Amino acid sequence: EVLRTVGEGAYGVVMRCRDRVSGEIVAVKEFKINSADPDVEEVRRTSTREVTVLRALSHPNIVAYLGDFYAGEKLYVAMEYLPRTLLEILDDTNGAGLPSEDVRLYVHQLCDAVAFMHAAGYVYRDIKPENLLVDDSKRLKLCDFGFARRIDVADARGNSRGKDPLTDYVATRWYRAPELLLGQPYAGADGATTRTGYGQPVDMWAVGCLMGELTDGEPLFPGDSDVDQLRLLQRCLGRLTPGQMMAFSLNPNNAGVTFDDLRDAEPEGLDARYAGKMSTLELDFCGRLLTMNPKERITGEECLRHPYLAEHNRAED
């Protein structure tokens, strides 16, 4: 029994429903599969991927899969229902941000989920407030796995160069890591496609962006284009790595674009951005997430061992 629609995306609609047998409240996602739609194959791939990932991952901070079924050509996926998204909770603060202990609670749970996914060989690729569900006891759960992909864990920090490359356009722009902003793939002189590799560190960058947003209620890097996004993050954190700058400059899609105006500029720094709002420990943790070089960026497991979250573990014990 459908009670109401609670969300809608490009590929599906999520409804709050009641199981007529048990009376349990569940969430049901209806994928917009329509043979007449020119994007039907992409919707089918996304829906199949989401079901596969949900079936494979069972964790306290990942929304629970309850089953799936077809009605005609439409796929429906049943999941546990949580009443709010983290975006709605943020909106209720009217731009003030959350108390520091709530920020740590939510970041801790998110890192738990991401570390579990990464250990299982997945990259999530779309961390943002609207994809994080929260119940009345502040239990956070990651949802919407349409962009999640299984990758070669041995190359988890720099995938997308092999036989089955990762999609280039992923993640909402404000949460994209620098390696996702260096330009669209292009054909080289030999006709081979050149693309920038990426892997699980893109998820960790997004956690850092989210932590900042939870702290002061404002998106950390609200760029209106990929180039503007790169400009904003360099103004705050400093220049791209030499390798990233070379990849950006060699990409013909970026012809004529430079960051010369930033060459001699002193970056603002996270300490200035969050002065009086983040402690030294919080700044260290956030800074390790927002590291330009993905190979130096802190991992999910390393996050859980960082004093910022390790102290939270001891407090809970």
Q: Which of 245, 258, 113, 110 minimizes the C-alpha distance to 179?
A: 245
**Residue from 68, 112, 126, 216 carrying the catalytic annotation:** 126
User: E strands of 95-174, at which residues?
Assistant: 122-123, 132-134, 140-142, 149-150
Nearest partner of 165 among 151, 154, 179, judged by Cα = 151
Give me the count of residues in the chain.
317
Q: Is 126 a catalytic residue?
A: yes
Own/partner pairs for 222-229, CB < 8 Å, 24+ apart?
222/174, 223/173, 223/174, 225/173, 226/173, 226/176, 226/181, 226/183, 227/181, 227/254, 227/257, 229/173, 229/174, 229/176, 229/181
29 is in an annotated binding site: yes
State which amino acid sits at residue 92. D
Q: d(Cα 67, Cα 76) in Å, to the nearest integer?
A: 9
**DSSP labels for 29-80?**
EEE---TTSTTHHHHHHHHHHHHHHHHH---TTBPPEEEEEEETTEEEEEEE
Q: Which token pair is 266?
A: 């002193």
The residues annotated with a catalytic role in the active site are 126
Q: Binding site for ATP, residues?
A: 29
